[in-house]
Amino acid sequence: MDNEKEETFSPSGKTEKRYNLLSLRGIVEGYTVFFLLLVLVLIISLLSNEFLKVRNLLNIVRQVSIMGTVALGASVVIISAGIDLSIGAVLLASGILAASFAQKSGWEFAIFPYLPVLPVVVPVLIGLAAGTLLGFLNGFIISRMSIPPFISTLGMMMMVQGLSFIYTQGRPVSHLNDSFLFLGQGVIFNSIPVPVIVFFSMAVISYFLLAHTKFGRYVYAIGDNEQAAYLSGIHVKKYKTLVYTYAGFLAALAGIMLTAKVSSVQAGWVTSFELDAITIVVIGGASLSGGVGTVLGTIIGAFIIGVLQNGLNILEISIYWQQLIKGLILISAVSLDILRRKQKQRKSAY
């Protein structure tokens, strides 16, 4: 069953169909969320004169870039019919570890407290390695020990949160050097924020992996029907491990950019990145049952959530109402996905 020839399994040609963007009909049918984004932008711009200002739009794109990077990893997991609740904890832990090696002075949290400030590549690689390792452990536990993803990643989330508190003793990690802060606050060509470049670069890589590689075809195959994928010769355990490893890497990358953006990080931060990521992916058209989803859909879903949050803040809507609205959006998106699947099942029955 370890035979992995490319021609052994093609999920009914769905991968190619999902990425057929050459016709207007394909765009309209596959990415109707894009029109939802346009409507949302129109409504908010009519309600506030501040929304379409260049400074605000750049702020939206910068915020979307960090959320979107996390969501790219979550989308690959969800396409494989998995779930990762540890993304937020991995994001913070990676940011904490990277920041502790990027401090100007103090070095309270570094393993070697008297070393000079290290080049920015060192803390970045340390943070990325930590997130990737945690993602690998998620995938290993899920695939090799057959523990359900919900339970495994929930346990990982709690353990990583505990380790973050132990490592920092509950104190914030700040006083970061300028080269590290550039990763979250810097711009290229005098106008393009670094996180935006990173996000779209990872989006291109993720698209290529899902649409044009054996990895992508097998991820869709596992999400469509894991048992059928196994019987077709796909090394299911290997590719499920790779899926969670990739998600951990992207969560770490987002954590480093977020830490650099706000110039500090703390283990006690209350975040909902894992829930935001799942919401983004589902809004973008992915199915929680697996086998369905695209990078373009995830990008649009990220902009919908980013525009919504920014618009609600501009309109001075309470954070409590914002949480309520986001919850309703998630439930609505999942409900629509269930209705689509039921309709598809009825058609296939006939």
Residue 26 — very low, low, confident or very high, per pLDDT cuts 50/70/90? very low
CATH number at residue 170: 1.10.3470
Q: Tell whether the model's pLDDT for residue 8 goes beyond 50.
A: no
What is the pLDDT, as a whole number, of residue 213? 94
279 within domain boundaries: yes
16 phi, psi to nearest 5 deg: -65, -40
Total of domains in the chain: 1
The answer to whether the beta carbons of residues 280 and 299 sit under 8 Å apart is no
Residue 307 — very low, low, confident or very high, per pLDDT cuts 50/70/90? very high
Q: Tell whether the model's pLDDT for residue 96 goes beyond 90.
A: yes
1 within domain boundaries: no
The answer to whether the beta carbons of residues 233 and 218 sit under 8 Å apart is no
Lowest mean pLDDT among 16-30, 88-102, 178-192: 16-30
Lowest mean pLDDT among 6-20, 149-163, 194-208, 289-303: 6-20
Q: Is 71 exposed, middle or buried (0-12, 13-18, 19+ CB in 10 A)?
A: buried
Q: Tell whether the model's pLDDT for residue 21 goes beyond 60.
A: no
216 within domain boundaries: yes
Report d(CA 259, CA 264) in Å as an integer.
6
Lowest mean pLDDT among 49-63, 88-102, 108-122: 108-122
Q: Is 282 exposed, middle or buried (0-12, 13-18, 19+ CB in 10 A)?
A: buried
Q: What is the pTM of this model?
A: 0.86
3-state helix, strand, coil in the chain (%, to 5): 70, 0, 25
Report d(CA 85, CA 135) in Å as an integer.
11
pLDDT in tens, 130-162: 999 999 999 999 999 989 999 999 999 999 999
Q: Which residue has the tokens 């006083």?
A: 175
Q: Which residues contact 248 (CB under 8 A, 6 or more apart)?
A: 73, 90, 131, 132, 133, 134, 135, 136, 138
What is the pLDDT, as a whole number, of residue 132? 97
214 within domain boundaries: yes
Mean pLDDT within 32-49: 87
- Number of helices (H), then strands (E), belonging to the chain: the values are 15, 2
138 within domain boundaries: yes
Query: For a pLDDT cut of 70, what percent of the chain falls above it?
Result: 84
Domain that holds residue 332: 6-349
